[in-house]
Structure 1
Amino acid sequence: MISTLTVEAVLLPNGWAQNQTIVTNDGVITDIREASKAECEHVLKGRLLPGFFDTQVNGGGGILFNDKPSVTHIETMALAHLRYGTTAMLPTIITDNADTMAAAADAVAEVMASGVASVKAIVKGVHFEGPFLSRAKKGVHDERFIRPPSDAEIATITRKDIGRVLITVAPEAIDVGFIKEMVSEGVVVSLGHTNATFDEVQLAIDAGATGFTHLYNAMSALTSREPGAVGAALLNTQTYCGFIIDHFHLHPRSAELALKVKGEKRAMLVTDAMAHAGSDLTTIPFFNTEIVREGDKLTTPDGTLAGSCLDMHSALVNAIDGCNVTLEQASLMASTTPAHFMGVENEIGSIALGRNADFVLVDQRNQLKQVWSKMRVVF
């Protein structure tokens, strides 16, 4: 089905273009051209950006993916985040048992194979955040499930029917051979929940790790005598870093500094969203504790940060308003850069020929006005 959309300003890969008509066929962009005089009479006011890609979504809409991984739960999560501009996501399983990991893979595979069409367009794969992590930097992850990889878990992670796979590991908790094996299987390896030294992190990067999960948080810090994981992440120009910019996980100036060092082509906005996102929930059970929302902050009763209730549009606005980032830079970090990180840049992440017609429209104050998923208006 051929459709057109004429917009006042469109952010293209080479910059802004005014009064553009976007032509799509079955939700894929086939042409971008200057609007005709007649089309300009019905131009949509605002600034059109690529839809957001969140690589770390633990939950949303009242659902935590770990609780009961299923197509229905993925659908609930996806639709909860979609209204905030997340047109692509990786449902994320927090450290858990092998059965839960397998169930998550089964659910994602079912979505990828058929599932609800609107959700299939959003889900690009799965993120296993653990369980091969550091106990010293476990954060909210349940220590009972932190362990070395087994053959069964490797088989789950390397399945070929679950889209793009991202796994977060602590380099000191696994052998570099494991990283090489994962990369050879097409898995994207990110480093996080780690107390590794700079040298240990560098060996993991040399083995093929390309990302850092929620930079600064739950990782060895940069100090004068030991650069740690943070120092390794900032020093390496080829690796990608996720940032939870909710102003609880990161001081705005710490975020601003790291964003300047990494640049918008290597920095990514993520939510690390829990079930609270897109819902009115204040408290949810979480393994042998609970996660409580106070304002926009999520913690366990002992005060440990436990993910966020952040959405991607808020992350974009927070980066702009709090970290001296431009709209253009924030858009790259929310869309284009994560698409490159996960190797799906030919499908999503920019407004260009051959890409999905996934868009968000913001006004001059960056307030969200509309969202499209494959040219279907969803908000």
Structure 2
Amino acid sequence: MKSIPFEALKRKNVKIILMKKTALIGGKIYTGNEIIEKKALLLDGGVIVGTVDDKDIPVGYQSLDVKGANICAGLVDLQLYGDGSDLYSAELSLASLERISNGLIDKGTTSYMMTLATNTIPVFKEAIRVAEDYHHDAFLGLHLEGPFLNAKKRGAHPEELIITPTKERIEDLLEGSQVVKMMTIAPECISDEVLRYLQTYQLLLSAGHSNATFAEGTHGYDAGIPTSTHLFNAMSPLHHREVGLVGAVFNHHRACSSIIVDGHHVSFEAVKIAKKQMGDRLFMITDAVAACNKGIYQHVLNDGYYALPDGTISGAAISLFEGIRNCVQQVGIPLDEAIRMSTTYPANLLGRSDIGNLNTGSMANVIVFTDDFKLEHVIFKGELRY
């Protein structure tokens, strides 16, 4: 068995295709279900083979020593708008999607949902048209955050572009599309009949930018809306007389929600409260944007977050990996649970068993990081990125 230390690979500073059969050794393995030590994680042809004792590594595998680091699945982000200097809604090109994909993978996010905030219908349609022709194993599809929201909770979304959902408008926007996989809607702004029609498109629906009462929010979850968009942000708050959508999320036995753990969109104490209330129903997103000075969303970087020129908070400036660090260091969530919040839970919402975990047969998307949260290595489909 040939052994190649990771440090030797890092110094080359190039993309390296792993040998067909590879064993990651010397680390703590977070599979998504359990924590495994003193075992090897086997990769073969871009797929997870399983874990074995170091002494039982099969013949023909090359061994890569991670020197005590943590090993977990690549991260899954269901809501982001761009990366680096690319805001997809402002670029609308295959080249920008490719740059975003590569930039995210190098930050440890190996699966992502490209999101578009409320925009004109022509921009939505062009974004869909371009994305239909983009094929990448990190790209999960498009998440349309709008236009069927509640203007009273619009946040950074232009009020004049928010519209009431009808069958005709849904058909005009979505008919023939295979790439739209997720949509944020305000449950109080859609009738039961129109909601049932929207559900025929087999999208992951999320309640957000909503001023729903507790009853309206609960009705939406009971009607089959499985999750919610950035808990606390742009939704009716928890009040002791009317607990709003936050209360509906907390009290519903099935409803999930994403949350932004950057310390700006939501305080760390609020994250702690939400985690105690929701347990495994709470997962992380970044809501990350990119600096942009054109189009509807002109994002300006402030101290740790992005805002519109008028000061309205408009997006995050963290990676999902940094969110894991914040969960552990600032909120007190155990590392294995923080990992699940950014891998297993969002993957489960999508019905994807091949990402977000290190189970046998899953895609060989793996990140390696130290106890002080230095991202050492990213493996994407069996390819060592660095």
C-alpha distance after superposition, 1:96-120 (max 9, x if no partner): 11222222222222123xxxxxxx1
C-alpha distance after superposition, 1:145-195 (max 9, x if no partner): 111235354354364632x61100111222122322232331111011111
2:20 matched residue in structure 1:
2
Q: Is the 8 A contact 2:22 2:63 kept in 1?
A: no
2:114 to 91, 116, 120: 91
Does residue 207 of structure 1 match 2:223? Answer: yes
Q: Is the 8 A contact 1:2 1:23 kept in 2?
A: no
Does residue 12 of structure 1 match 2:31? Answer: yes
1:127 matched residue in structure 2:
143
CA distance in 2, matches of 1:67, 1:40: 44
Structure 1 residues 132 and 42: CA distance shift in structure 2, 3 A? closer
Q: Runs of 5+ in structure 2 lacking a partner?
A: 1-18
- Which amino acid in 1 is paired with 2:367? V
2:10 matched residue in structure 1:
none
Structure 1 residues 272 and 158: CA distance shift in structure 2, 3 A? farther
Q: Is the 8 A contact 1:28 1:357 kept in 2?
A: yes
2:375 to 368, 372, 379: 368
Structure 1 residues 248 and 353: CA distance shift in structure 2, 3 A? same
CA distance in 2, matches of 1:139, 1:79: 29
CA distance in 2, matches of 1:26, 1:161: 28
1:266 to 277, 281, 297: 281
- Which amino acid in 2 is paired with 1:378? R
Q: How far did 1:4 drift? A: 1.1
TM-score, normalised by the number of residues in structure 2: 0.88
Does residue 310 of structure 1 match 2:318? Answer: yes
Q: How many residues matched?
A: 362
Q: How far did 1:92 drift? A: 0.3
Structure 1 residues 6 and 293: CA distance shift in structure 2, 3 A? same
Does residue 34 of structure 1 match 2:53? Answer: yes
CA distance in 2, matches of 1:62, 1:21: 38
CA distance in 1, matches of 2:101, 2:318: 14
Structure 1 residues 41 and 293: CA distance shift in structure 2, 3 A? closer
1:74 to 78, 97, 115: 97
Q: How far did 1:220 drift? A: 0.3
> Identity percentage over the alignment?
27
Does residue 180 of structure 1 match 2:203? Answer: no
Structure 1 residues 153 and 73: CA distance shift in structure 2, 3 A? farther
Q: Is the 8 A contact 2:22 2:62 kept in 1?
A: no
1:284 matched residue in structure 2:
293
CA distance in 2, matches of 1:103, 1:180: 26
Q: How far did 1:40 drift? A: 10
Q: How far did 1:301 drift? A: 3.0
Q: How far did 1:351 drift? A: 0.3
Name the SS of the counterpart of 1:284 in structure 2.
coil
Q: Is the 8 A contact 1:158 1:182 kept in 2?
A: no
1:297 to 295, 299, 305: 305
CA distance in 2, matches of 1:326, 1:198: 31
CA distance in 2, matches of 1:28, 1:249: 36
Structure 1 residues 41 and 273: CA distance shift in structure 2, 3 A? closer
CA RMSD of the aligned region, Å?
A: 2.0
Q: How far did 1:286 drift? A: 4.6
Q: Larger Rg: 1 or 2?
A: 2
- Which amino acid in 2 is paired with 1:60? D
Does residue 44 of structure 1 match 2:66? Answer: yes
Q: Is the 8 A contact 2:113 2:142 kept in 1?
A: yes
Name the SS of the counterpart of 1:76 in structure 2.
helix
Q: How far did 1:31 drift? A: 3.2
1:157 matched residue in structure 2:
174
C-alpha distance after superposition, 1:130-152 (max 9, x if no partner): 01011111000111211123535
CA distance in 2, matches of 1:214, 1:333: 13
CA distance in 2, matches of 1:251, 1:342: 27
- Which amino acid in 2 is paired with 1:5? A
CA distance in 2, matches of 1:284, 1:269: 27
Q: How far did 1:231 drift? A: 0.4
Structure 1 residues 14 and 298: CA distance shift in structure 2, 3 A? closer
Q: Is the 8 A contact 1:169 1:192 kept in 2?
A: yes
Q: How far did 1:37 drift? A: 7.4
2:348 matched residue in structure 1:
340
Q: Is the 8 A contact 1:179 1:209 kept in 2?
A: no
| Segment of structure 1 superposing worse, 143-152 or 204-213 | 143-152
Structure 1 residues 94 and 20: CA distance shift in structure 2, 3 A? same
- The 5-angstrom pairing of residues 186-201 of structure 1 reads 186-201=202-217
Name the SS of the counterpart of 2:247 in structure 1.
helix
Q: How far did 1:75 drift? A: 1.2
